[in-house]
Structure 1
């Protein structure tokens, strides 16, 4: 088992945001959202670093206007090849109608360099689902994890699966996402990415392994992960140069497309109308980060400097979504 050493500590002060680019283009998911730059986010109270944690939120004060409710989308200025990514959250965006938050990792030239969705959900979802998205030639086994296999072929164009579904594993733990996560006082997600596979663990705040708090994380002692992706897949061929991302969008190709069949339809006939006219309902749509750390073992650390994700030549625009709905980010 790898002996992990700290490579990047993103901190909780203002320097946290120095390590990310603020995306300000149109939402590839067709969401009702306006992603703002760092200056606007700061002056509007959408980001801050007071109280020993990092706040990343959305506008919950104003009736929105086109192109949509103000929000923040962050992409790390570094990319990674392998590693152990540990995110300690005091709060994640709640289970709020119209919202679509995600914490994830993404490579350039999607899907050829891969994607790892670590935390993601829409509307009043109560449990987390983890997914991978790749080009052809990557399937996973239905074993080695405590969650439930949803789809096994990570290829975004796989026959017999919804378009862009990828391979997904769902959790049955109601503390793993949204309101349940927040009511439990937050928690920790750990994602281990090696040549052998990609695994994700979750613990509520009261159950986090002591080796994580002590700065010496050792996955060999963590038990069965909630999601594990291994099988007929060359991980190193399908996952390269991944950035770390946070975002919250609204409606669009997933949250919007399932609106009419969800419990949210009782609130408004239109997702966009609801998000536009009910700002106070999004007061819980924020990330509160206690820490974000990336560890590497000596044999597989292959960190490289990220491209500038804000330039047109390198901006990533793609679409995907399990269950047949697109999530282009």
Structure 2
């Protein structure tokens, strides 16, 4: 009886959060516009990773970013250069749009494979870190088999994971220090993800919480495929974050941009000794990454699309005050860069001033 009561309570919670949500497509990022809507970030890695994030011209010249198979976005890392002095060359991209609420559906065909030293991430981040929030949707390191999903925020945001899938464990409830949920789905990350031809990550950001679902390729709900997503029919999410101590999600998670990157070492290096297979191959993460370029031939993202859905299409495009963004790696901080302009909407949608972009004819193969 106790278990039944718990299940009913969880179901009620999930339904109450989405009962009135009717999502309509707001914007699609795909092969037709990805490299005009995302910036290539030629920055120094703030997390001390052994990585060289290249600029747009270099990414094109080295075929580290472009359109593959006619309609898939490719983001990769160098897998031929031995002993690079500045770190292994790689790509980091960030959207020029930002959102404070919405349903974000990423259809990903391939992600960086499990390998010693690799640290890939698909995440979002706001302009005033950590006060405007960060959502680490896909993130793991080295040979880790499952993703760790983490929120970062300003002070006074304590969460619970009520409604998360069985096996997802909240390891820290304080989002100011990083509230993480460990997961057990081996198809949701790395080699396991690629073995099932990838799948869909759906992230719902609302004023009452953040929920993330993962569906492997063969189990993508029909409503997602049809472009009429209905989270009320999807069952329990992989992870669910709800307020447990005065966490106002609307103020803690706002103006978030999408980011895809492939880093090396950094966090992966700090845990090097915890992976015997890695530490047996080289004394340090940096040494391994420098001397084994062939280990990273499968360290790439292949993205079909990223779609943003809104609960309303009543978009108010009146401008208000500017917000200054910052560049940073998941869980770290960087200095301010160019300022975006704010466009209010049901999605709390932002669009920045001009920045370096790539064209969609970039390095097709």
TM-score (norm 1): 0.89
The whole-number CA distance in structure 1 between the counterparts of 2:262 and 2:42 is 13
The whole-number CA distance in structure 1 between the counterparts of 2:252 and 2:68 is 39
The whole-number CA distance in structure 2 between the counterparts of 1:76 and 1:303 is 19
Q: Which residues of 2 match residues 191-206 of structure 1 at below 5 A? A: 191-206=203-218
Corresponding residue for residue 160 of structure 1: none
**Are residue 316 (structure 1) and residue 327 (structure 2) matched?**
yes
SS in 1 for 2:171: strand
Aligned counterpart for 1:240 among listed residues 227, 251, 254: 254
Q: CA deviation at 1:299?
A: 7.8
Q: 1:290 to 1:302 in 2, by over 3 A?
A: farther
Q: 1:304 to 1:260 in 2, by over 3 A?
A: farther
**Are residue 151 (structure 1) and residue 172 (structure 2) matched?**
yes
Instruction: Tell me if structure 2 keeps the 8 A contact 1:181–1:204.
Output: yes
**Are residue 99 (structure 1) and residue 113 (structure 2) matched?**
no
Q: Which residues of 2 match residues 161-200 of structure 1 at below 5 A? A: 166-200=178-212
TM-score (norm 2): 0.80
Aligned counterpart for 2:271 among listed residues 245, 248, 258: 258
Which structure is larger by alpha-carbon Rg, 1 or 2? 2
Show structure 2 runs of 5+ residues with no match.
1-19, 335-365
Q: 1:10 to 1:228 in 2, by over 3 A?
A: same
Corresponding residue for residue 140 of structure 1: 159
Show structure 1 runs of 5+ residues with no match.
157-165, 321-326
Q: CA deviation at 1:301?
A: 6.8
The whole-number CA distance in structure 2 between the counterparts of 1:318 and 1:59 is 20
Instruction: Tell me if structure 1 keeps the 8 A contact 2:161–2:239.
Output: no
Q: CA deviation at 1:300?
A: 9.0
Q: 1:59 to 1:255 in 2, by over 3 A?
A: same
The whole-number CA distance in structure 2 between the counterparts of 1:90 and 1:228 is 24
**Are residue 63 (structure 1) and residue 76 (structure 2) matched?**
no
RMSD value over aligned CA atoms?
2.2
The whole-number CA distance in structure 2 between the counterparts of 1:300 and 1:116 is 26
Q: Which residues of 2 match residues 214-293 of structure 1 at below 5 A? A: 214-231=226-243, 232=245, 233-252=247-266, 254-263=267-276, 264-293=278-307
Aligned counterpart for 2:68 among listed residues 50, 53, 68: 50
Corresponding residue for residue 17 of structure 1: 35
